[in-house]
Structure 1
Amino acid sequence: MDDQPNALGNFLRARRDLITPERVGIAVSGTRRVPGLRREEVAMLAGVSAEYYLRLEQGRDRRPSTQILESIANALLLDEEARDYLAALATDRPRRRRSHSAVKETVPSGISKLLRTLGQPAFVEGRYMDVLAANSLALALSPRLTAGANRLRDLFLDPAEQALFSDWEGATRQFIAGFRQSVGAGINDPRFIELVGELSLASPRFRALWARQDVKKLQGGRMRFDHPQVGSLDLNHEKLAIPGTGNMMLVILHPDPQSQDAEKLSLLASASLESPHPGSWAPDHAKRENGS
């Protein structure tokens, strides 16, 4: 888990485990004891000494130069987002752990009003993928999209939510990579530690994906649902940053115009009751732990 001090070393180890020697032009002979690259192979490809690279992975050197980071990123075949994440880990300053709970996330009143007027499923998502507010059509799409729920927890632990996604395995990969990118180097927050710890213990799938250290910003795309009422439903998926809120995102799901998916969504809309108060929510861990 990344709540340990050596986040940079954890990331480097995980990423080199994913790169086979063949991908970087290293000939293989005999039996290898590691799934990916050896430390000395990464060091060779990056043009640094094996001893120095070992110090990086062990956390004995946490301030490599930009040039060294670029060389290591090239050796590990990192894309742009993973490079940015690596740089953030290497430049982040140690922080005092906060003894109090996470800062309350409050949805702006204008966004709450906007949710009521949107004719598409829409909800507000917090930094840790908590659902902070949702309109009635979002609830018609999934009852788990309710204020107070957590999208990661439902995706990995709720069988009904898992069944909703046609490509559940692909969705889990995207969610984990997007979650890591959203959190960045801020891994000392008690809320983050609690959520990752809970899911790591409860879900082997989460544990395996989290160990990969994939990083990817969740942007627009397509999502396919297997809805219990209308069947297969293909929707466009948009995540829009809400200015002035830190990491809150307005998530909107919408069909292509004049498509069968639009007709199916209209059926869901006609059957749903408009929620008068989508409202906002701040994490109440005591309530969840008590089962209420």
Structure 2
Amino acid sequence: MTANTPLGDFLHTRRSRLRPEDVGVPTYGERRRVPGLRREELALLAGVSSSYYTRLEQGQSQSASPEVLDAIAGALRLDEAERRYLHDLARAGRVRTRARRPTPERVSEPTRHLLEALGETPAIVLGRRSDVLAWNGLGHALFAGHVDPGAPEVPGERPNMVRLLFLDPHLRELYTDWPSKAGAAVGALRLTAGEHPEDAALHALVGELSAKSGEFAAMWADHRIKPCTVAAYEMRHPLVGSLTVTQQTLSYGPGPVIVVGTAEPDSPSREALTLLAQATARPALLTDARTPSRVGRG
């Protein structure tokens, strides 16, 4: 029987990734038909009965205590983000909540003032589903300059960065290592799904992307968990060429987050960001922004 709950699916996916030799389980040279640990082996490592773990993975039990979940997380060698996600899934399974459309997300005045203060640093404000709630001029120019700059101000037209990553050719070309960026975005969305299982808009987004992108569907089914905090990406910007930008997510508790992009001081990438800022302020510079003498390689 296959898993038929998010909790069971996650457990099955993670169990299949662990090899017996990784956790000291002897195999005595036997040939296995499926990869990963068997259920009874994982149960033994976690200190629970095989029948109980089987019911949990098959979605027949939703009563796992926090202590049992921690024991299973340890046996599966989950990191802190994955462990939190496991607890979120178990809690959602115990407390059935009806899907609902959440209160519209808004940007506070202090956050808008911060965006203005970051004028020379690209910055965007993202909601929990990665909707762009606001951006400064350089943030718009760097991350999605082909999109209407006023779109975030209209709730029904707000760009969604995960949707753009998978469905918009511009974003696919923007990142040299697109799979890495896309995987990070899906991992962060998975965490949100665990924290907000009642979010109807999030369910709709996942359904849309799963139907339209086989790559998204595969990454989502893989149950990858990855909080987006700090990561460096090489970008191929259509106006200023190649540059490496460190993207940092700044969070101040529940609510929207601010993503800022920075480059090493006195580097070609920093020079490219400066030129992009100048080009954004003075469109006449766009005509020769690609010339090698103006911008180095990041």
TM-score, normalization: structure 2? 0.83
Q: CA deviation at 1:184?
A: 2.5
Deviations 1:191-245 (CA, angstroms, capped at 9, x unpaired): 11101111111112111111121222211232221112222111121111245xx
- Specify which of 186, 191, 195 is matched with residue 196 of structure 2: 186
- The amino acid of 1:128's aligned partner reads R
Higher relative contact order by CA 8 Å / sep ≥ 6: 1 or 2? 1
Q: Is contact 2:4-2:58 (8 Å) kept?
A: no
Q: Is contact 2:99-2:197 (8 Å) kept?
A: no
- Kindly tell me: are residues 187 and 91 of structure 1, through their superposed partners in 2, closer, same or farther at Cα, counting changes over 3 Å? closer
Match of 1:135 in 2: 136
Alignment partners' CA distance in 1, 2:110 and 2:257: 14
Match of 1:37 in 2: 37
Q: Is contact 2:7-2:89 (8 Å) kept?
A: yes
Q: Is contact 1:144-1:154 (8 Å) kept?
A: no
Alignment partners' CA distance in 2, 1:98 and 1:80: 27
Q: CA deviation at 1:14?
A: 1.4
Q: Is contact 1:63-1:91 (8 Å) kept?
A: no
Match of 1:83 in 2: 83
Match of 1:227 in 2: 237
Deviations 1:45-70 (CA, angstroms, capped at 9, x unpaired): 22222111111012222121233222
Could you list the runs of 5+ residues in structure 1 that have no partner in the other structure? 275-292
Could you list the runs of 5+ residues in structure 2 that have no partner in the other structure? 153-157, 283-298
Q: Is contact 1:122-1:250 (8 Å) kept?
A: yes
Q: How does 1:102-251 map to 2 (within 5 A)?
A: 102-118=102-118, 119-141=120-142, 142-143=144-145, 147=152, 148-243=158-253, 246-251=254-259
SS at match of 1:55: helix
Alignment partners' CA distance in 1, 2:124 and 2:221: 29
- The amino acid of 1:266's aligned partner reads T
Match of 1:290 in 2: none
Alignment partners' CA distance in 1, 2:81 and 2:146: 30
Alignment partners' CA distance in 1, 2:197 and 2:250: 23
Q: Is contact 1:144-1:161 (8 Å) kept?
A: no
Q: CA deviation at 1:160?
A: 1.4
Alignment partners' CA distance in 1, 2:59 and 2:96: 16
- Specify which of 228, 252, 257 is matched with residue 260 of structure 2: 252
- The amino acid of 1:85's aligned partner reads Y
- Which segment is superposed worse, 80-89 or 195-204? 80-89
SS at match of 1:184: helix
**Runs of at least 4 residues of structure 1 off by over 4 A?**
none
Q: Is contact 1:9-1:57 (8 Å) kept?
A: yes
Q: CA deviation at 1:7?
A: 2.2
- The amino acid of 2:204's aligned partner reads E
Match of 2:291 in 1: none
Q: CA deviation at 1:102?
A: 2.8
Alignment partners' CA distance in 2, 1:97 and 1:47: 34
Q: How many aligned residue pairs are there?
A: 268
Q: Is contact 1:164-1:225 (8 Å) kept?
A: yes
Alignment partners' CA distance in 2, 1:135 and 1:158: 21
Match of 1:289 in 2: none
Alignment partners' CA distance in 2, 1:117 and 1:230: 23
Query: What is the root-mean-square deviation in Å for CA atoms of aligned residues?
Result: 2.1
Q: Is contact 2:244-2:263 (8 Å) kept?
A: yes
TM-score, normalization: structure 1? 0.84
Alignment partners' CA distance in 2, 1:218 and 1:63: 31
Are 2:43 and 1:66 aligned? no
- The amino acid of 2:161's aligned partner reads R
Match of 2:285 in 1: none
